[in-house]
Amino acid sequence: MTKQRITISDVAKKAGVSPTAVSFAFNKPEQLGKETLERIFEAARELGYAANPYARALHSGSIGSLGVLVPQSISSIFSNPFFAAFLQGMGVMCDEKGIGLLTLAVQDNNLEAAIAKAPVDGFVLVGLNEDHEEVAPLIKRNIPTVIVDGDGSQFSTVNVDDEGGAYQAAKYLLDQGHRDIRILTFETPYNHLEYVYFGVGGRRLRGYQRAFQEAGLDWNDEYLVPTIASIEGGQDSFMQLMAQKRQPSAVLAVSDAMAIGVVLAAKQANLRIPQDLAVIGFDDIPLAELMSPALSTVNQPVTEKGRLAADLLISALEEGQHKAQHFMLPTTLILRDTTR
């Protein structure tokens, strides 16, 4: 195991002072004589002393890092460009304040355990509502928390106008005359139709639906294609679509990764885009702009969401009790090469 750590009293001994003096030297140096100070720092440096963060935290209640909790595995978080951008935004604030960012695994749906043992001063929750039962301990124990892409009242929330963005996307296709539109939705663990209207996926769906209704079209849940949120998932769904009797003239996807998969698969099938198939994604990840044809999509300010969430959390931490604030950031339809 780790070699015996240098403690404050080792330094005290070496410098010929009391442990208190050493503590003061680091925390309230003005309380000490210049001479003593020198001697203490000298000893500390020679010994390679550094305060034990846990002892310090035990006392102060603060450890200097923020937790990011997403109901997904760590590895899937990092393979997702959305989170890359989001974490980048949080990182801007963390860099500024010199604090760390802890990404947490959620073992078998056990958020509560993860929360309890995490060495953090507060949490950013992504995609979880305040009323989720696993979130209760955070409220009960009054741990500073910010909710992103979810609802809450006690905690501050940061959301974007998912519904409005989706509405614009669907309306655009509808206005162009498309009538055979299929919608790629987030895959859900169990009964698809029962879960698909929850969360950000649900909000986006309701936006599409509103546009359909305004255009006087029947909404049919059979338009929905549950799709794994990845490029491969989009490719698979495209295959499925092509195998059907009636083929769509346009596809709406609740995430860019899916949309990109569709575009890739369509290109391979020698469909012309956007003439034979129009596609609009959601999120506006960097790849959307760089691929060719460049993907039309709904932009949401992901990095800004991360920055804002971290900012709110840090303010709450610094100012103690803080009034919850609720933000709704705008989304924008970005027309590129996968639509006419």
Partner DNA sequence: CTGAAAGCGCTAACAT
Partner DNA sequence: ATGTTAGCGCTTTCAG
Element of type H or E holding 230: none
109 binds a second copy, rule: CB under 8 A: no
Task: Tell how strand 332-334 and strand 297-299 pair up.
Answer: antiparallel
> 33, 98, 189, 320: which one contacts DNA (CB under 7 A)?
33
Q: From DNA, a second copy, none, which one binds at residue 234 (CB under 5 to 8 Å depending on kind)?
A: none
Cα separation, 289 vs 268, whole angstroms:
20
Cα R_g (the chain), whole angstroms: 26
Q: Which residues contact 239 (CB under 8 A, 6 or more apart)?
A: 265
Per CB under 8 A, 99 contacts a second copy: yes
Buried b (16+ CB within 10 A) or exposed e, 127-154: bbebebebbeebeeeebbbbbbbbebee
**Nearest CB to DNA, comparing residues 1 and 243:** 1
85 binds a second copy (CB under 8 A): yes
Q: How many distinct helices (H) and strands (E) make up the chain?
A: 15, 12
Of the candidate residues 25, 43, 44, 104, the single one contacting a second copy (CB under 8 A) = 104
In this structure, are residues 127 and 199 in contact, taking their beta carbons and an 8 Å threshold? yes
Which residue number, 88 or 176, has a Cβ lying nearer to a second copy? 88
Q: Whose Cβ is closer to DNA: residue 55's or residue 193's?
A: 55
Residue of 1, 48, 59, 222 interacting with DNA (CB under 7 A): 59
Q: How many residues bind a second copy (CB under 8 A)?
A: 68
Query: Which of DNA, a second copy, none does 26 bind, CB closer than 5 to 8 A by kind?
Result: DNA
Per CB under 7 A, residues contacting DNA are 4-5, 7-9, 16-21, 23-24, 26-27, 31-33, 35-36, 49, 51-52, 55-56, 58-60
